[in-house]
Amino acid sequence: MDNMKELPLKLEQIIEKSLWENKTFGHSGTHVFKLTKNQKTMYLKINQISSEFNLEKEKVILEWLSGKLPVPSVIFFDIKNETEYLLISEIPGRCSHTFEKDTERVRNIEILAAGLQQIHSIDIKNCPLNNNPDMLLQLAKLRLKSGGINPKQFDNRWQDKNPMEFLNEVLKLKPTKYDLVFSHGDYCLPNVLINNKQLGGFIDWSYGGINDRYFDFAAVAWSIGYNYGEEYILLFFEKYGLDNVDWDRIKFFQMLNEFFQQ
């Protein structure tokens, strides 16, 4: 890597002589590299500190989840020159969005539903991070006030709205009470790994913490529709055990999440 000299010294020593592969994709500002050394695979995340949801929070959540869920282990974390470096272990498996056969997708829907039940069953007592919706709304207002929202990056459903109009619509849909659980925060198909037809584990925990159950429902419903097709969404909720889906609540959280995807 060209900027190897910029890495923290201890990190350099850990990953010395590793084979690097750039794995960055999506809209995140985080750079992700797959590192292979002595037949061992690790992942290095590098991020400029510019977001409320950052690699330090992911590190905190991963350490708290150790022994509770199948998640990566933290090997190294440090901040140098306003840049975060998080080195984690590999979770074996294949991202669930990459499966194409109907039989595979039906099986994966069952795994996704059971996986989210497992996440939501974690006791939130002593959870180190709180992402409750009221806090997220305050952050959304601050981002809007600072001019950090580009409506052109909204989902196609809402690109006709300016940011203030959009926020007002979000507030109209705000639930009167929340169902707080431990939440992944970005429960989309690329973040759930399937290994030998079973759950491999969960990755990308920067948004993890206490949140409304529907925050995860909103993310996974969109992701299933995008990756598998909308006909699989109701199957997911059936397998999760949710008989009556509150679609307005899902819309609220999908809209709220737009403020944190830029």
The dihedral region occupied by 226, where left means phi > 0, alpha psi between -120 and 50, and beta the remainder, is: alpha
Six token digits for residue 81: 């020159």
Q: How far apart are CA 165 and CA 158, in angstroms?
A: 10
Q: How far apart are CA 167 and CA 161, in angstroms?
A: 9
Please state, as a whole number, how many other Cβ atoms lie within 10 Å of the Cβ of residue 194. 24
Active site residues: 186
Burial pattern 35-54, b for ≥16 Cβ within 10 A else e, equals beeeeeebbbbbbeeebebb
Distances (CA, A) of 215 to 17, 207, 222, 246: 41, 11, 11, 12
Six token digits for residue 8: 């923290």
Q: How far apart are CA 62 and CA 109, in angstroms?
A: 24
Contact 53, 78 (CB under 8 A): no
